């Protein structure tokens, strides 16, 4: 039996990644693998913290600095103990490729946030919460960025995990269908190698 070979933070000294309340080596390894391929994030501090979250499975957020006008330098990624809307599906039990796909999407958001100032990030957040069109554009861009970094198969795996899992709430599936790229769109982008990079229009 071949044992999984897990990455650790010492393997990538250029990445400023910190873990809080993370006991699963699979989670740490999957997260590090994604960060390692997002080279534009290597100069940023990223903290992955696992805690109880009811509203989502993962949340990637900037740490706002009111004294900086040159863009976001630090991020926090909140990771739930359970997959959204489930009391039985543990995040650490998800297949590794699904974890990687999920992280690839969330870190795609961080790449999108990187050039924004604190005030631009606030505007971004307001538009995300108040405009369905903007929210869809932002979620599509996170998927585009993940695909552009070679995570198309993992993104597909994550979407299949959601849509084919009977324990997932139908309202959550409907939300994914409404705001995120479909599996077919991911495959088309990967095959044609015509990755669009839409701007958020700030």
Angle at 93 between CA 61 and CA 75, to 5 degrees: 15
pLDDT in tens, 90-108: 889 999 999 999 999 999 9
Q: Is 106 in a helix, a strand, or coil?
A: helix
Q: Is 15 in a helix, a strand, or coil?
A: coil
Phi, psi (degrees; rounded to nearest 5) at 196: -75, 150
Residue with tokens 């390692």: 36
pLDDT in tens, 124-137: 999 999 999 999 99
CB atoms within 10 A of CB 97: 17
Give the chain's end-to-end CA distance (angstroms, integer).
51
pLDDT of residue 1 exceeding 70? no
Residue with tokens 């910190």: 18
pLDDT of residue 197 exceeding 60? no
Strands 58-62 and 74-80: antiparallel
């Amino acid at each position: 039996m071949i044992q999984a070979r897990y990455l650790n933070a010492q393997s990538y000294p250029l990445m400023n990644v910190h873990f809080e309340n993370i006991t699963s080596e699979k989670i740490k390894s999957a997260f590090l693998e994604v960060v390692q391929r997002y080279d534009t994030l290597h100069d940023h501090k990223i903290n992955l913290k696992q805690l109880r979250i009811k509203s989502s499975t993962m949340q990637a957020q900037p740490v706002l600095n009111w004294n900086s006008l040159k863009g976001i330098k630090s991020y926090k990624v909140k990771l739930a103990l359970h997959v959204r809307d489930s009391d039985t599906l543990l995040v650490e039990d998800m297949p590794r490729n699904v974890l990687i796909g999920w992280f690839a999407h969330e870190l795609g958001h961080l790449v999108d946030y990187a050039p924004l100032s604190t005030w631009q990030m606030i505007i971004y957040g307001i538009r995300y919460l108040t405009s369905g069109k903007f929210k869809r554009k932002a979620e599509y861009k996170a998927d585009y960025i993940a695909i552009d970094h070679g995570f198309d198969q993992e993104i597909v795996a994550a979407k299949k995990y959601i849509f084919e899992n009977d324990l997932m709430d139908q309202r959550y599936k409907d939300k994914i269908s409404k705001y995120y790229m479909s599996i077919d769109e991911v495959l088309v982008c990967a095959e044609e190698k015509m990755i669009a990079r839409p701007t958020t229009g700030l």
